[in-house]
Amino acid sequence: MTTVRGGHDPAAIDEAAALLRAGQLVAFPTETVYGLGADAFNKDAVAGIFAAKGRPADNPLIVHVADMAAARAVVGEFPPLAEVVAAALWPGSLTIVLPRGPRVPDIVTAGGDTVGVRVPAHPVALQLLKVFGGAIAAPSANRSGRPSPTLASHVLADLAGRVAMILDGGATEVGLESTVVDMTRDVPLVLRRGGVTLERLRALLGRVDCLEGQDTSAVARSPGLRHRHYAPRARVVLVGEGEGEAAVRGMSGRVGLISREAAEGELVRVLPGSAEGFAHGLFAALRELDLLGLDRIVVEGIDEAGLGAAIMDRLRRAAEG
């Protein structure tokens, strides 16, 4: 049984923390997407995450903490440059990969010697972390391969009966996952683009390298990148800005459209023109259209500046699937 509770209700937070202490799974909102949480120091509880999601065991999990002090209990070492970036961007949509601390079980890191840590910028997530008092391992709360959930109803659609409680915090603000940056190297390396832009990281840190999605070295560094991702059931077709309606007309079958222009129709979802607005609504639009049982969903791409780069990364992966 899965219960859905209001995330801002203190009694619900207390119950969620008690469930986590008992080794159960709790889904909760972050500012990026919903997470599927378990006590990060309880390996049996964490095993439940992999089972519930159908997640490959070689894909490590992000550990969520309330603050810097709690982060220190998870990592082996906090290098000075990592402190700079954490001080500037936490709480926020940045996961920092650091040497793993001794308390973190193998299953969290997929056996690797690094761990990804993040302080999320969402009042419900922070309150849960505070009341729970430990560290919460949490991937996005979707079945493996599906678009990440940006609403509690998305979590329920994917994981009903597989998670003890869902804390409902409404729509997540960013709508895309966190940026993952490996800070164990001389030059920081972005493994996954996300809510914090590369431009922002470079302004803070100077040189920052970035793995583009297709780089095969990504396979060793961030195993999650090689798995099928963000894909609805319908085939996703990525086209240029303003090319959506023409592309739909040229296709047979039932074809949906995600556009940022004033297009109309039952199978059309129009998203805001800004990259922030597009990111916020994208996964929900994909899931809504997918419920209509379409053959294809045409999505108009966006300029790769700022958050646009992370959006295009997700769209390319969705289109590959």
Torsion sign over Cα 235, 229, 202, 33: positive
Residue type, 63: V
Q: What are phi and psi of 38, to 5 degrees?
A: -145, 160
The helix or strand, by DSSP H or E, that contains position 286, with its residue range, turns out to be helix 275-290
Site map 55..74 versus ligand TXA, x via CB under 6 A: ----xxxx------------
Please list every residue from 111 through 150 that binds ligand TXA, using CB under 6 A. Answer: 112, 114-116, 118, 120, 138-140
Please list every residue from 168 through 187 that binds ligand TXA, using CB under 6 A. Answer: 177-178, 180
| Shortest spacing between CB 161 and ligand TXA, in angstroms | 20
Q: Which residues, in sequence order, are CB contacts of 51 under 8 Å at separation 6+?
A: 162
What is the distance between the alpha carbons of residues 142 and 52, in angstroms, rounded to a whole number?
9
Residue 274 binds ligand TXA, judged by CB under 6 A: no
3-state secondary structure at position 300: strand
Which of 12, 13, 35, 318 is close enough to bind ligand TXA by CB under 6 A? 35
Q: Which is nearer to ligand TXA, 239 or 284 (CB)?
A: 284
Q: Which residues bind Mg ion (CB under 5 A)?
A: 140
Residue 42 binds ligand TXA, judged by CB under 6 A: no
Query: Are the C-beta atoms of 23 and 38 separated by less than 8 Å?
Result: yes
Query: Are the C-beta atoms of 191 and 180 separated by less than 8 Å?
Result: yes
Does the N-terminal peptide bond of residue 60 adopt cis geometry, omega within 30 degrees of 0? Answer: no
Q: Residue 61 binds what, of Mg ion, ligand TXA, none (CB under 5 to 8 Å, by partner type)? A: ligand TXA
Instruction: Identify which range of 30-38, 73-81, 267-275, 280-288 contacts ligand TXA by CB under 6 A.
Output: 30-38
Q: Which residues, in sequence order, are CB contacts of 111 under 8 Å at separation 6+?
A: none
Residue 314 binds ligand TXA, judged by CB under 6 A: no
Task: Identify the residue whose tokens are 């999601």.
Answer: 53
Site map 199..238 versus ligand TXA, x via CB under 6 A: ----------------------xxxxx-------------
Residue 76 binds ligand TXA, judged by CB under 6 A: no
Q: Where along the sequence are the contacts to ligand TXA (CB under 6 A)? A: 30, 32-33, 35, 59-62, 95, 97, 109, 112, 114-116, 118, 120, 138-140, 177-178, 180, 191-192, 221-225
